[in-house]
Structure 1
Amino acid sequence: MARAVLLPVALLLLCLALAGGADAERKPVGFYELKNKKGDFSIKVTNWGATLVSVLVPDCKGNMADVILGYDTLAEYVNGTASFGATVGRVANRIANSRFVLDGKPYRLFRNDGNNSIHGGHRGFSKVIWTVKEHVLDGDSPYITFFYHSFDGEQGFPGDLDLYVTYQLSSPYDLSIRMNATATTKATPVNLVNHGYWNLAGHGSGDVLRHELQILASRYTPLDATKIPTGQVAPVAGTIYDFLKPTPVGEHMEVVSGGGGGYDINFAVDGQQDALRQVARVEDPKSGRGMEVWANQPGVQLYTSNWLINEKGKGGKVYGQYGALCLETQAYPDAVNHPEFPSSIVRPGGQGYKHDMTIKFYY
């Protein structure tokens, strides 16, 4: 039975590896582990989508748990639609009407969210094979670096783009994710996101509505009916988006069975843009686990797994609605169509795209 499943997946991966051209490199796909010296903090990743597969951390009693949602097999990642732990791009989040104009030239993208484009199109960076450039297991800060070359016109986006994603552990329980991109031929929008689904009680342990959340953002970007920003940047004060003080995730949100409720919105992070600063803080009151999110991006998307319905995950666990939260540090959604927003354009010969984030776990 296992071979019957793996054979078509292997053929699919081979086709995808060769899709970039006749001389494209054949890239094997696998799972890779990083672990600290003490042995009580580890992650697993795969070069399918430069994806974060697992994060094992202790609680206040030393009990270990995997705090990120995911799958056991490569086939499930190939066929999955939730982007669990993946590197999402070329432009994460939504682009209105699947089009934009850049330097006077119009571009049309693949529509995969109604009339809009989301997460780079139907075959974004979460659905391609990345090359393992470095995998360092030893020392105080083990790391792995993935590389992907995105070609001019891929999913409708202009220009060639060279991308690197590095996952690195450091003491005591810090996970750094560095995403870099260089445009080599044309100007292009870039917004890379790590799409981790976090549950600090452990993946598959129920909903996160009692997790206490703090988002260091005094403003947010209101949306229209299709979840596209209106162009406003409004204060969170007096709204359900006010997480300036630690607040249970579900305290003010609308809970709707079967999807439709919950949060799925961008916050404008306080502090100096392009500077690494604290974005958010989450704690699970039962286990005592917590994490701080630090990043250098202007925004962060809060998504509460509103449409996650009975998804079979790792170890036979079943993930339900509100079973995790995402804190996706990012450029503002649809920034390419909003000149009033911080720019997401990367140009050849410029400083390139640099997205640094650090997740600091504690108990």
Structure 2
Amino acid sequence: MAGPTSHPYFNLNGINNCAQGHTLKLAAAHYTPVDAQSIPTGSVTPVDNAPFDYTSARILNKADKIDHNFVSEQTLNLQTINQHAELTSPDNKLMLNVLSNYPAIQVYTGHHLKDTFNAFDGICLEPQFCPDSPNNPHFPFTFLAPEPPLQTHINYCLTTL
């Protein structure tokens, strides 16, 4: 359970173009590693100088096969909307900013897309709780109940540069 969220794909490179070459920057000092079957291990690992360090903008290419959750806030504060991600088109003409009050964001580079789409046709950016949060008490999480209702906010802001 990662909480109610959306699962949008973005490609600022235009129709019939691969999404590689986008520049990605994440406001996340940690990520949640997964095992060989892509199941969260329950760990929260610093991204410092690791393959998943996107705290500085990096250009995505075929070597970047990401399907991981990045933790922006290790404590839960649903009162504050934070910047999670910044995605810039390969031609530097468009920028997508992702803001939310969720503590984490799942990033998927679309490397398993098939049928209607091709691999790497889109990049998914979905703010959420960490996957498997109910079973990992050290992950920021809140149980859903009628009172008080869960109020989450996700903002996708597209601007021209």
TM-score, length basis structure 1: 0.41
Q: How many residues align?
A: 158
Distance in structure 2 (CA, Å) of the matches to 1:269 and 1:325: 19
Q: For residue 358 of structure 1, what is the aligned residue in structure 2?
A: 155
Indicate the residue corresponding to 2:101 in structure 1. Answer: 296
Equivalent residue letter for 2:113: L
Matched, 1:339 2:142: no
Deviation readout 1:57-91 (Å, 9 max, x if unpaired): xxxxxxxxxxxxxxxxxxxxxxxxxxxxxxxxxx4
User: Structure 1 residues 335 and 303 mapped into 2: Cα distance closer, same or farther (>3 Å)?
Assistant: same
Give 1:338 deviation, angstroms.
1.1
Partner of 1:320: 118
Instruction: Quote the Cα distance in structure 2 between the aligned partners of 1:204 and 1:324.
Output: 11
Q: CA 1:271 to 1:294, structure 2 compared with 1: closer, same or farther past 3 Å?
A: farther
Q: For the Cα contact (< 8 Å) 1:219–1:234, is it kept in 2?
A: yes
CA distance in 1, matches of 2:100, 2:134: 21
- Which structure has more helix as a fraction of its residues? 1
Counterpart in the other structure of 2:22? 211
Q: Quick one: which of 70, 80, 84 aligns to 1:279?
A: 84
Matched, 1:197 2:6: no
What SS does structure 2 have at the residue aligned with 1:336? helix
Segments of structure 1 that go 5 or more residues without pairing to the other structure are: 1-90, 93-190, 254-261, 312-318
Which residue of the partner structure matches residue 246 of structure 1? Answer: 57
| Larger Rg computed on CA atoms | 1
Q: Once the two structures are superposed, what CA deviation does each residue of 1:217-239 show, in whole Å capped at 9, x if it has no partner? A: 01001112222221211110121
**1:279 and 1:271 mapped to 2: Cα distance?**
13
| 1:264 correspondence with 2:67 | yes
Q: Deviations for 1:175-208, whole angstroms, at most 9, x for unmatched residues?
A: xxxxxxxxxxxxxxxx111110100122432x22
Aligned-partner Cα distance in 2 for 1:238–1:285: 24
Following the alignment from structure 1 to structure 2, what is the Cα–Cα distance between the partners of residues 236 and 286? 27
Distance 1:271 1:231, change over 3 A: closer
Q: CA RMSD in A?
A: 1.8
Task: State the secondary structure of the residue aligned to 1:265.
Answer: strand
Q: Return the alpha-carbon distance in structure 1 between the equivalents of residues 6 and 111 of structure 2.
A: 18
**Identical columns (%):** 29
C-alpha deviation, 1:343, in angstroms: 2.1
| Partner secondary structure for residue 240 of structure 1 | coil
**Paired residue type of 1:285:** P
Instruction: Structure 2: give runs of 5+ residues left out of the alignment.
Output: none
